[in-house]
Structure 1
């Protein structure tokens, strides 16, 4: 629980900092397309920072749920791959970096599916 709470909090902090950085410092340095890519990374990072915090509290209530633990890891690693690749793509313009972004997206989908399965089992 503590690890995912910390990861979610740090990720949330970084998403706000990166969002401000993108809106102010990068505004003059990147074109509109690259700024959009950067903003997408920030949006998904913020969303999944909150998901990590939710997972952390759910693990407190359901400590034996391996599905929740896996969901947390999917959100954490998915953020690193998805948002990280978008930040790198926006900053460098190296298009091949966009090829790994879907791996992070797939991890997000798996995390959300695991969360839904946990909810289904917990309510049943």
Structure 2
């Protein structure tokens, strides 16, 4: 699982950089500044949690734990739901998409709490 999370985190980091560049160069002037800010928030959380996935993968080598496995999956799901909903909202203007964003945020929070618990349990 460790290798999977490192690889997934790196792939998601790559995607986050590509989406950030697309937002900065491809969307500027095509969506409102408010929507661009929402898009950039998605990119920011996407990149932070992609690095978190890499960290979790490395932590699994040091202190294997089923809690870290769950944490990794929750961060990955959080990126998809949180950042994905913000990308979709900003490019479509469908503000109802913002209703699912907190689900991704909760996935992030639970994932990080599981890392804390796993670290304290060792």
What TM-score do the two structures reach when normalised by structure 2? Answer: 0.97
Hey, what does 1:90 align to over in structure 2? 90
Hey, what does 2:49 align to over in structure 1? 48
Cα deviation, residue 31, structure 1: 0.6
SS at match of 2:102: helix
What TM-score do the two structures reach when normalised by structure 1? Answer: 0.95
Matches within 5 A, 1:37-116: 37-63=38-64, 65-116=65-116
Hey, what does 1:26 align to over in structure 2? 27
Cα deviation, residue 85, structure 1: 0.3
* Cα distance in structure 1, aligned partners of 2:15 and 2:31: 20
* Cα distance in structure 2, aligned partners of 1:58 and 1:112: 13
Cα deviation, residue 42, structure 1: 0.2
* Cα distance in structure 2, aligned partners of 1:77 and 1:71: 10
The two structures, once aligned, show a CA RMSD in angstroms of 0.7
* Cα distance in structure 2, aligned partners of 1:46 and 1:23: 15
Structure 2 regions of 5+ residues with no counterpart?
none
